[in-house]
């Protein structure tokens, strides 16, 4: 029998803590190991109880719930499921919570919780179990990455396109990769004011160096470049060297940055030396570009439906015949390592400077 998922409930309301604990305890696969009413108590409980998953209400009496979320998600191996009346699934607060690293957002009714408790806990139980499964596989991937051989790649490139649910998906994949990984270029659909912060947060959580791309940056092993919001990102080639252009051009597929713009440039300038990855997101941006990459000889991967927050972008790419491999989110890093091992013998590692403390 699989071990029970250890859950800590963080909520300012005694009634909600009691009702959620009672309802979740009815699931034979879940063990509610504790509850906490505020951020300080939650920190102490997380250290002492070591839960597998934490449910978090963003309405906290002693601190900003989003600020607390940003602190606790620095450890990507402990998923945080936001359960809050402040967080409608399509709302601004929910989007910000996902950007900060929440595994998922589950909305609770602002009133009459007892009437809606059954539907809420059914959704929450499923989310908690999925989060715990991702945690276990993340730790296994991280251990594998730490013991992997050292590779060198000068003209290889990995291109990633992602939208809704992307910050957590990127965190899961990038944190499981080692510093010898070929250079990575990323388009995440996100407003301009958020992309720099996203890159900085990922940089603190990864062996890779992660930063917002600047026009003219080289593509280097061990470095991931994130497209600035409101600008397209393209790759360029100068002999054997690859670099990036940050361009101010009209939106494509209603997006700027656009995954299609990035992927088409990768198809043109990298061809068979590229790996294309399309992950969770709404719409079809990136599908045509991924097909162009595949036709140019690149290997292509799509995140599967079960692990996608929104299956739109991967589904469209799969429908076009643009995908070589369809895998769960927690297996993408393994596929990256396998592709890399097929490309180059390994010679050296690359370390990145970090401002994280």
- Catalytically active residues are 163, 189, 285
At residue 160, φ and ψ (nearest 5 deg) are -120, 135
Burial 103-125 (b: 16+ CB within 10 A, else e): bbbbbbeeeebeeebeebbeebb
Cis link prior to 257 (omega < 30° from 0)?
Answer: yes
DSSP alpha helix (H) spans, the chain? 14-25, 39-49, 65-72, 92-99, 113-146, 166-174, 192-205, 259-269, 287-295, 312-319, 332-343
Instruction: Check: CB of residue 238 under 8 Å from CB of residue 196.
Output: no
Tokens of 341: 């091992």
- In DSSP terms, which residues pair with 157 in a beta bridge? 183, 274
315: closest CA among 303, 297, 328, 332? Answer: 303
Instruction: Check: CB of residue 305 under 8 Å from CB of residue 328.
Output: no
């Amino acid at each position: 029998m699989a071990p029970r998922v250890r859950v800590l409930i963080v909520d300012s309301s005694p009634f909600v803590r009691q009702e959620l604990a009672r309802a979740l305890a009815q699931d034979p696969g879940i063990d509610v190991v504790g509850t906490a009413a505020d951020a300080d108590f939650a920190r102490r409980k997380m250290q002492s109880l070591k839960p597998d998953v934490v449910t978090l209400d963003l309405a906290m009496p002693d601190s900003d719930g989003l600020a607390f979320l940003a602190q606790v998600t620095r450890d990507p191996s402990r998923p945080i499921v936001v359960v809050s009346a402040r967080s409608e699934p399509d709302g601004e607060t929910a989007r910000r919570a996902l950007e900060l690293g929440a595994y998922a957002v589950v909305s609770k009714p602002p009133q009459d919780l007892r009437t809606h408790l059954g539907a809420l806990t059914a959704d929450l139980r499923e989310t908690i179990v999925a989060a715990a499964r991702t945690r276990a596989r993340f730790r296994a991937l991280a251990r594998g990455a730490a013991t992997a051989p050292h590779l060198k790649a000068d003209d290889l490139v990995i291109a990633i396109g992602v939208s809704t649910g992307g910050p957590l998906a990127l965190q899961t994949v990038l944190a499981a990769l080692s510093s010898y990984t070929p250079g990575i270029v990323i388009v995440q659909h996100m407003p301009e004011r958020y992309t720099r912060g996203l890159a900085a947060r990922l940089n603190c959580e990864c062996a890779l160096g992660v930063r917002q791309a600047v026009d003219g940056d080289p593509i280097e092993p061990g470095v991931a470049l994130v497209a600035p919001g409101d600008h397209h990102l393209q790759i360029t080639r100068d002999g054997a060297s690859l670099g990036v252009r940050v361009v101010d051009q009209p939106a494509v597929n209603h997006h700027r940055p656009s995954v299609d713009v990035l992927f088409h440039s990768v198809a043109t300038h990298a061809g068979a030396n590229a790996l294309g990855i399309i992950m969770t997101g709404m719409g079809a941006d990136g599908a045509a570009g991924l097909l162009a990459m595949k036709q140019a000889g690149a290997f292509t991967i799509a995140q599967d439906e079960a692990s996608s927050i929104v299956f739109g972008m991967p589904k469209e790419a799969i429908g076009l015949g643009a995908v070589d491999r369809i895998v769960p989110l927690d297996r993408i890093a393994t596929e990256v390592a396998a592709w890399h091992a097929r490309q180059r013998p390994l010679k050296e590692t690359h370390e990145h400077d970090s401002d994280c403390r």
